[in-house]
Amino acid sequence: MIKTRLVLFLPIVFLVLLTEYGTLGYAQPQQIPLSNFKVAFIGDQGLGPNSVSVLQLIKDEGADMVLHQGDFDYTDNPDAWDQQINDILGSGFPYFASIGNHDVVALDGYQQKLNERLTKITGANCSGDLGVKSSCTYQGLFFILSGAGTMGSGHDTFIKDQLLQDNSIWRICSWHKNMNAMQVGEKPDETGWEVYEECRKGGAIIATGHEHSYVRTKTLTSIENQIVDPDFSDPNNLRVSKGSTFVFVSALGGQSIRNQDRCLPTTFPYGCNNEWASIYTSDQGAKYGALFCTFNVDAQPNKANCYFKDISGNVPDQFSITVESCLPPSSGDWIITSSCTLNSSTTAPANVIVQNNSVLTIPAGLTFDIDFVNFNLTVKSGSGVLIKAGGTIT
């Protein structure tokens, strides 16, 4: 006997099918990082012992990749910069970078070095003007390397288009410069708010440098107005979704360390709009270091754990990130408690329960498979499943 296929709790539940099913088209699988994939974020590096110590820290922490937010060596010397990295991490280590204002003069040389490295990184793909207006995928991460505020134009449109075309769980916008309100030093408005807001709308983390310190916001629903997400106000538990994200400056790569001029006091909770979760400048005794984020933590594709660590072993900031992604667990029942839309064709591992006034949407061209012989789809009162024309549930 076939078990119940669909359990409805009336009267408010709805299961909606819009017009007739179309032909199921090919759906690109959703990109998921390798389990426990660790990325180091740095900026404003320079040449010398402090920079070497940060690179050694990155190696010692077991990072799988570096994402560098601009300002490489401050001497227009691509050979020396590349060699410094090679000496510690190796010539084939996955190292990606966005252009900084101190890199413009020797841009061709830096791009040559980055392209040479790219050819050695198995599975890495980048398109566009590398480090200026480019996007990359590597091990399930999607990241945009932008020269916003430094070089080129139309960065907001480029970011919007790239994010619309991507279906990765984890997406990152990387550039060098800031808006004044998105750092705590004296840097002026240099990028415009449009690039920040397009990344927020597209559900991407925003990584920057330029102001030589480490700072991180809480989850924001408006970056231009520094509005903290009322549903995720915890400074150490962040949400990334299409409409909410966070911003950080990780610019203690080795060049210098600056003080806190804005959003005083120097201790938590800080001033301004209560948007800051962590501030680490010379006023807090900062030392050089890097932000480390581990994605797909313990086989949870939409989870990441992050910490900033300096070369003396101090850890002034630790936090977790949850991506609101419509992705079932690897095993067990999938309990859906907030509305979501499938990004790719999906197979449920066990029972599916839609509750808490949530709606599961299956878009055109995608299929949602459930083993109805052994499991149920349960839709509780106030919740629903919306199957759009061309979508399929089997």
- Checking if the pLDDT of 127 tops 90, the result is yes
pLDDT of residue 318: 98
Q: What is the CA radius of gyration of the chain?
A: 22
Q: What is the DSSP string of 284-347?
A: GT--SEEEEEEEEETTEEEEEEEEEEETTS---EEEEEEE------SSS-EEE-S-EE-SS-EE
Q: What are the backbone angles phi and psi of residue 211, rounded to the nearest 5°?
A: -85, 115
**Two tokens at 254?**
């080795």
pLDDT in tens, 277-323: 999 999 999 999 999 999 999 878 889 999 999 999 999 999 999 99
Task: Give the C-alpha separation, 18 to 392, whole Å.
Answer: 11
Q: Show Cβ contacts of residue 93 under 8 Å, excluding neighbours closer than 6 positions.
A: 66, 85, 117
Q: What is the DSSP string of 22-56?
A: -PPPP-PPPP-PPTTEEEEEE----SSHHHHHHHH
Which of the four pLDDT bands, split at 50, 70 and 90, describes residue 17?
very low
Letter for the amino acid at 355? Q
333 vs 135: which has the higher pLDDT: 135
Q: What residues form DSSP beta bridges with 280? A: 214
Over residues 375-388, mean pLDDT: 90
pLDDT in tens, 184-235: 999 999 999 999 999 999 999 999 999 999 999 999 999 999 999 998 999 9
Structural domains of the chain in order of their starting residue, each with its CATH number = 6-29+327-393 (no CATH), 37-323 (3.60.21.10)
Distance of CA 302 to the CA centre of its chain: 11
Which of the four pLDDT bands, split at 50, 70 and 90, describes residue 343?
low
Over residues 68-77, mean pLDDT: 98
Over residues 154-182, mean pLDDT: 95
Give Dmax over CA atoms of the chain in angstroms.
75
Task: Give the C-alpha separation, 51 to 82, whole Å.
Answer: 12
